[in-house]
Amino acid sequence: MGIRASRDLGGSATVVTSQRVRAGRDDDYKRWQEKTNQVVRGFDGFQGTELYPPASGEENEWVVVFRFSGVRQLTAWLDSTDRRQLLDEGLPLFDGTPTQEVLTGGTPTHDVVTAVISHEVLPGRERDFMRWQDKILKAQERQPGFMGSEMFKPVEGVQDRWVVAFRFDTREHLDRWLDSEVREKLLEEGRGYFRSYDVRKIGSAFGGWFRFGEGSDEGVPPNWKQAMSVVLALYPTVMILDLTVGDWFRSLGLPGYLALFISNVLSVSILTWLLMPLVNRALAFWLLPSRARSLRIHVAGAALVAVCCLVLVTIFGLTTG
């Protein structure tokens, strides 16, 4: 497995691993990945991990993101005996050799949907490649949903790949850019500067509901915490809407499919602009990987959310039963 890294040896460090799983081995792979997650949690500087399953209609390629407080801590994990043993154990699950990019310093690449592209730049064409990347950035800035881009230079003695990460607000906007004629023409123009390139897509399960401020380097919660937090905000929203506007819709004789659509619009709007920002602030100690660094915090936060859900169920049970 080749390691691709950026130039900055200070600040946070992220490794993005992409691995194609053999057909019919998804459940085995998920068990192996959970075992890997349990092991990596014991390493110094570990901040969080996210697992992204294959997108619909794409090859069975899974993407895993590991975040560490610094490149030295990340390197200790990558070079560890524990990790090598896990890779040997998981080898029968993979169809081909997994690939990974290491990003150190800069802004984390977790905003909504991110593409991580690594290039094998031809020797002596580095300046041409950088000028070409500037042209791509100018073209990206004119695309709908574009949120930012960063370029990571190689680290001498580690490998010679250049990594570019750029973010869009939705997968649709990202795919539109990746498939656009403008990008295809730019790729043709730049083929004299590099031998090959790889594209990896990363997306968060609940997108913009878990933003902690523009430019924040705090990281994003793992998907299981996101799911628990969404349920905590969604359940009372749905119940209150059903007890209020739901009764009104029924009194008006609206068809069920139309009433459900309007209720969904209202509930998503309430979550996006009202409740999820409140939940983020209240549970930041548990949601943010940079703060939730101990098992005690993970357990305490999960227990708090579970108790809150139980209280809500009890309240609605007593008032509506």
**Does some domain include residue 216?**
no
User: What integer pLDDT is reported at residue 136 of this predicted model?
Assistant: 92
Instruction: Determine, yes or no, domain membership for 217.
Output: no
Q: How confident is the model at residue 3 (pLDDT cuts 50, 70, 90)?
A: very low
User: pTM for the whole thing?
Assistant: 0.43
Band (pLDDT 50/70/90 cuts) for residue 56 is: low
Same domain for 160 and 279?
no
Residue 238, C-beta contacts closer than 8 angstroms, at least 6 positions apart = 263, 267
Task: Tell me, yes or no, whether 249 lies in a domain.
Answer: yes
Q: Contact, 161 vs 100, CB < 8 A?
A: no
Residue 151's identity, in one-letter code, is M
Between 312 and 222, residue with greater pLDDT? 312
For residue 34, give every residue at least 6 positions away whose Cβ sits within 8 Å of its Cβ, in sequence order, or none.
Answer: none
Q: For the chain, what is the mean pLDDT?
A: 79
Residue 218, domain member (yes or no): no
More confident of the two residues 86 and 172: 86
Q: Supply the range of the domain harboring residue 160.
A: 3-210
Q: How many domains does the chain have?
A: 2
> What is the C-alpha to C-alpha distance for residues 23 and 245, in angstroms, rounded to an integer?
47
In 3D space, the residue among 115, 113, 109, 95 whose CA is nearest the CA of residue 19 turns out to be 95
Same domain, 197 and 240: no
Three-state SS for 69? coil
Tell me what percent of the residues of the chain surpass a pLDDT of 70: 81
Q: Could you report the per-residue pLDDT of 143-158, keeping only the tens digit for each?
A: 888 877 777 777 555 4
Measured in degrees and rounded to the nearest 5, phi and psi for residue 316 equal -70, -30
Phi, psi at residue 229, to the nearest 5°?
-65, -40
Q: Are residues 167 and 259 in the same domain?
A: no
Verify that 181 and 235 share a domain, yes or no.
no
Statement: residue 82 has pLDDT above 90: yes
232 in Cβ contact with 308 (< 8 Å): yes
Q: Is residue 289 part of a domain?
A: yes
What pLDDT band is residue 203 in, cutting at 50, 70 and 90? low
